[in-house]
Amino acid sequence: MNNLIFKYELYDAWEAPVHGISVYERDKDNVEATYWSLSPFSKDKAGVNVYSLSKDDINTIINVIECNISILDVKKVEMPFVIDGVINKFVIRLGDIENEIKAFNIGALQEKNAFTFEGTKENADIVLSVFNEISKVLTKNGVDPRYLELDI
């Protein structure tokens, strides 16, 4: 059984991985944070850190997804006016439903008045809201914030 509930990975513009984090619904060692050194923009040596969140914190993350259920329907995230940049990949899973989301420079859309090619940033706002809420739970539990950076 796949017990993944959340995954985030950052890639450089050439799709070389920089870092990633995965959260699993299990009793311990339920967060795996990976840093790759394949990208010339990598800040550290490759490695994996494992963290353990309480059952309550895992349930909080699941609740964030349940309260933002429309994230499971997001197929495309709007693109900001950024040349080059990064690729952000998210996997959101709730039960048997899994959604993979690929975004480009989504961190640039954190600004309230950010411009996109599409003229709206509705899907980006949903993804960022879920990501930011999950990031709060993770960093509160000692997860190094570098694994949650949206840009290089």
pLDDT tens-digit series, residues 21-42: 999 999 999 999 988 866 565 5
pLDDT at 115: 87
User: Residue 135 belongs to what domain range?
Assistant: 4-147
How many domains are contained in the chain? 1
Report yes or no on 41 lying in a domain: yes
Instruction: Note the pLDDT of residue 83.
Output: 78
Burial of 25 (0-12, 13-18, 19+ CB in 10 A): middle
Rounded distance, CA 81 to CA 61, Å? 31
| CATH label of the domain that carries residue 123 | 3.30.1560.10
pLDDT in tens, 45-93: 678 889 999 999 999 999 999 999 999 999 999 999 987 899 999 999 9
Does residue 92 lie in a domain region? yes
pLDDT for position 39: 57
